[in-house]
Structure 1
């Protein structure tokens, strides 16, 4: 399990040689007891996690599947989605895409990308690995 908390400082901060920036996530992999850090960089259902190698004081990047891994998030953000646009309105008003085009013309890859982009919009840019624990 990856145990993470969000860095909420206003300035950069050192963390075992890694430079944490505001809104980065850091903590520990409870199975390996290694220090971990992520900026929240996600792609294709994966999140980039840096693991600290204490033996040589280096950080190693690993891509972790969000759905296949458990995350213990300290202070899950409260997100109010009540004032957000519906998906179809978001497509039309924000992306300029007609619902019929989305449904009939866009490839599966593009549909997945748009769905993910909408999730970021809906949850105020909160990373997907955190979103999976947000309850409304």
Structure 2
């Protein structure tokens, strides 16, 4: 079971990379998409994402007390961050999917599972 509805395509990093490349090319924005400019835009979007949580304190997983509009806004800001990250990695020639998998493997080596029953609270 894939969880996809009929006619839906699976969202992959490759698909997002192509869509962002097409989007930029169609608008002649490629000349503005230097690594520096994309990074600054990404940081700006991270700021907008941070503002959503700024005065809420700790929130429970799943955001059960949030209104639908708040969750939709959160999804839009998360998407902005993801799309700029995907675009930045593409412009820099980094395969983000492979880099992320490699980082998970490195983290597994750096933070092995503690079989002694000790604390599992470790930062990535």
Given the two structures, how large is their TM-score scaled by the length of structure 1? 0.27
Relative contact order higher in (CA < 8 Å, ≥ 6 apart)? 2
Instruction: Report which of the two structures shows the higher radius of gyration computed on alpha carbons.
Output: 2
Task: Select the structure that is richer in strand.
Answer: 1
Given the two structures, how large is their TM-score scaled by the length of structure 2? 0.29
